């Protein structure tokens, strides 16, 4: 993919920020706003961002591979909470930082005030792909439903670059090289799409990235990797609720290949 070297070249122009300093802007209780773009437009976006953001750098690396394993119940309780638009909903996942090998168990909650709150502990799935006692107790602290039995249902891979604002308490993440697989090893790849996520204290705070994205134009859109991937692999009763997102992905794919062939 010809756009990937271009992304890496632009990343080198940003001033770096280390992990310890970036933790001052952890934003574990925040407002999330997502945008989708064809990945070949990311180098241009990065050029416009330079000067307003610093890039996370760890051991000389500026992009990082992630592996996420989502958990759900047999009847896909978390998926259904999301697609029916339940005002307060949860998500449970293991996220492994491939560069370091560290894995966290995370519980994410979308509140009635449209805030995202995240809690996590360092933890791994057991060798037979189950939660150990520590993980089960952690999950029960935040999702206290009786007889809640969770199992891995979806795996997601992507690469991420992370930026921190110079003047505002905000983080920008850009995910690309996105792929999904089910537990049987069947894979679906989306190499043409990039997901930009703005994480900040509230809607009222200004953000340079918002002004930049208006130039394209591209509009905020709710987008759940978990729900999209789950709908792709499973014939669930409410999967049609994700149809609009799948059509948006197809539109971006068409734009991506149209630009390549221009």
What are the pLDDT digits (tens) for 99-149?
Answer: 888 999 999 999 988 888 999 999 999 999 999 999 999 999 999 777 789
pLDDT at 78: 96
Supply the DSSP string of 178-239, one letter for each residue.
EEEE-TT--EEEETTEEEEEEEES-TTS--HHHHHHHTTT-------HHHHHHHHH---TTG
Neighbours of 58 (CB within 10 A): 15
| Helical H segments across the chain, by residue range | 3-11, 19-22, 42-49, 77-83, 133-142, 208-214, 225-233, 243-261
Q: What three-state secondary structure class fits 103?
A: strand
Q: What is the spatial distance between Cα 133 and Cα 112, in angstroms, rounded to a whole number?
A: 30
Q: What is the pTM of this model?
A: 0.92
Neighbours of 216 (CB within 10 A): 12
Q: What three-state secondary structure class fits 65?
A: strand
Position 92 pLDDT exceeds 90:
yes
pLDDT at 160: 95
What are the pLDDT digits (tens) for 15-42?
Answer: 999 888 887 666 567 788 999 999 999 9
pLDDT at 20: 81
pLDDT at 7: 86
pLDDT at 167: 75
Which contacts of 125-129 are long-range, i.e. CB under 8 A and separated by 24 or more positions?
125/69, 125/94, 125/152
pLDDT at 28: 64
- Taken in order of first residue, the domains within the chain and their CATH numbers are 3-261 (2.40.320.10)
Neighbours of 7 (CB within 10 A): 23
CB 160 within 8 A of CB 171: no
Closest alpha carbon to 43 in 14, 78, 76, 84: 14
What are the pLDDT digits (tens) for 140-181?
Answer: 999 977 778 999 999 999 999 999 988 767 889 999 999 999
Mean pLDDT of 228-234: 96
Mean residue pLDDT across the chain: 90
Q: What length is written for the chain? A: 262
Report residue 93's pLDDT band, with 50, 70 and 90 as the boundaries.
very high
Percent of the chain's residues with pLDDT above 90 = 67
Mean pLDDT of 224-237: 95
Position 257 pLDDT exceeds 90:
no
Where would I find the beta strands (DSSP E) of 57-99?
A: 64-72, 89-97
Percent of the chain's residues with pLDDT above 70 = 94
Mean pLDDT of 182-203: 90
Radius of gyration from C-alpha coordinates of the chain: 18
Closest alpha carbon to 174 in 26, 39, 68, 52: 39
Position 81 pLDDT exceeds 60:
yes
- 61 DSSP 8-state letter: B
């Amino acid at each position: 993919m010809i756009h990937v070297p271009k992304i890496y070249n632009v990343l080198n122009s940003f001033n770096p920020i280390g992990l310890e300093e970036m933790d001052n802007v952890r934003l574990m209780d925040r407002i999330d706003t997502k945008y989708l773009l064809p990945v070949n437009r990311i180098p241009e976006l990065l050029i416009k961002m330079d000067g307003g953001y610093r890039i996370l750098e760890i051991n000389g690396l500026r992009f990082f591979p992630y592996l996420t394993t989502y958990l759900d119940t047999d009847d896909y309780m978390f998926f259904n909470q999301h697609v029916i638009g339940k005002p307060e909903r949860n998500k449970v996942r293991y996220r492994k930082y491939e560069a370091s090998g560290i894995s966290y168990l995370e519980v994410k909650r979308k509140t009635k005030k449209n805030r995202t709150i995240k809690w996590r502990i360092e933890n791994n799935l057991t060798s037979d792909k189950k939660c150990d006692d520590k993980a089960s107790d952690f999950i029960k602290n935040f999702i206290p439903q009786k007889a809640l039995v969770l199992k891995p249902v979806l795996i997601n891979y992507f690469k991420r670059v992370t930026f921190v604002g110079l003047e505002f308490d905000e983080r920008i993440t850009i995910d690309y090289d996105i792929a999904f697989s089910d537990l049987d090893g069947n894979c679906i790849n989306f190499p043409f799409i990039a997901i930009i996520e703005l994480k900040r204290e509230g809607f009222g705070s200004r953000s340079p990235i918002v002004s930049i994205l208006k130039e394209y134009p591209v509009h905020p859109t709710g987008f759940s990797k978990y729900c999209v991937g789950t709908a792709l692999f499973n014939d669930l009763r409410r999967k049609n609720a994700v149809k609009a997102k799948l059509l948006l992905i197809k539109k971006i794919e068409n734009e991506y290949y149209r630009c390549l062939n221009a």
